[in-house]
Amino acid sequence: MNVEARHAKIIEIAKSHGRVLVDDLVREFGVSAQTIRKDLNDICDRGLLKRSHGGAVFDSGIENMEYEARRRIAAQEKDAIGQAAARIVPNNSSLFINIGTTTEAVSQALLGHTGLMVITNNINVANRMRIYPTLEVVIAGGIVRGSDGGIVGEAAVDFIKQFKVDYAVIGTSAIDGDGALLDFDYREVKVAQAIIANARHVIVVSDSTKFQRTAPVRIAHLSQVNTFITDHCPSPSVRQVCEEAGVTLIETNPVNQLTLLSN
């Protein structure tokens, strides 16, 4: 069992029983106590559990539960989208990765790359990628949202503006039929706009459930990006926007079969 799978199982056990103990997890997974303590530290650093004497407890705070629920929505689709985005980004390049469960899937898919410089305002992305010696991770400063580990605010915007990178990977909370990319937090939107303005190639990643949602704050328009990756685009008007603006639209299924629809 790899580290990510073990972390997911530990969280599942903690949710079921309210807590986990180091000794029990050592027996469960057949690994050392040192490995389990590191697992718990990493999970707790992501805000998913809280350390306690001899183990960790599940934090039942509603915000964290909501974020974990979002992470589970369309999980297979997000993994496939992440793999598709990772194939676009070459080794030895620089990129932004912003907040979101789909962008986190991209970060997971990039772990096999080498020579990347990753600038992010997502603590979860930074924590996942920092342990790989072939990847350089730079994290923005600013206000940390307890709900999802996103770093937002003017300090984060100013930090992003110091860079000009090869690629940007951004997510969105909703996609309007006219091609508008939407979100809920205007502070997060300001950071996303700075990311778009300071990248040579912008990749939007979003699963198809975002076509069924709406949000009040405009991030950008699809015509401002280079590539849009989703599992399925059900909106003819969005397809038309991509075609007319020269945006590459990639649809992917859960087993990573890609269809290039426009260039």
- Tell me the CATH number for domain 74-260: 3.40.50.1360
Rounded Cα distance, 219 and 34, in Å: 43
Q: What is the pLDDT of residues 49-88, one digit of tens each?
A: 888 888 988 764 434 446 766 777 788 999 999 999 999 9
In residues, how long is the chain?
Answer: 263
Tokens of 50: 């809280």
Q: Does domain 3-60 have CATH number 3.20.20.70?
A: no
Tokens (6 digits) for 18: 């309210």
Q: Which residues lie across from 248 on neighbouring strands?
A: 227
Other C-beta atoms closer than 10 Å to the C-beta of 14 total: 22
Report pLDDT digits (tens) over 103-142: 999 999 999 999 999 999 999 999 999 999 999 999 999 9
pTM above 0.75, yes or no: no
DSSP code string of 35-89: HHHHHHHHHHHTTSEEEETTEEEE---HHHHHHHHHHHTTHHHHHHHHHHHHHHS
Question: Is pLDDT of 214 > 90?
Answer: no
Q: How is residue 212 written in tokens? A: 């069924």
Q: Where are the domains of the chain?
A: 3-60, 74-260
Which tens digit of pLDDT belongs to each residue from 142-154?
Answer: 989 877 889 999 9
Distances (CA, A) of 28 to 18, 21, 24, 31, 115: 17, 10, 6, 8, 36
